[in-house]
Amino acid sequence: MVKFFDGSLVLILFHIQLFWGMNYDIDSLKKVIDEKFTLLERALNESWILFFGHDPFHEAATVRRDEKGLVPDRFIAL
């Protein structure tokens, strides 16, 4: 199982949603969304543990797909 600290793409649990992010430059928004999509798809397919370095309530989680897209699956306390 891969453990992944994703830096600024998924700062907190709610940033798992594809269009939630900390991007202020509209020109690079598509690039950030594309990178985030690739990263989260790989996290799903390879059962990664994502670490949320800025989330005060959730330290880490895995993801799963449902009708809304990718959502948290299993929460992990460190």
Cα–Cα distance for residue pair 14/57, rounded to 1 Å: 11
CB 63 within 8 A of CB 75: no
Q: Return the pLDDT at 29.
A: 73
Query: Bigger pLDDT: 24 or 75?
Result: 75
pLDDT at 6: 61
Report domain extents, the chain: 3-76
Separation of CA 71 from chain center: 9
- Res. 3: pLDDT tops 70: no
DSSP H/E element including 70: strand 69-76
* Coil vs helix vs strand at 28: helix
Determine phi and psi for 58, rounding to 5 degrees: -125, 120
Residues composing the chain: 78
Q: Tens of pLDDT along 10-66?
A: 767 767 776 666 655 555 777 878 888 898 999 999 999 998 888 889 999 999 999
pLDDT for the residue numbered 4: 61
Q: What local confidence, expressed as pLDDT, does residue 10 receive?
A: 73
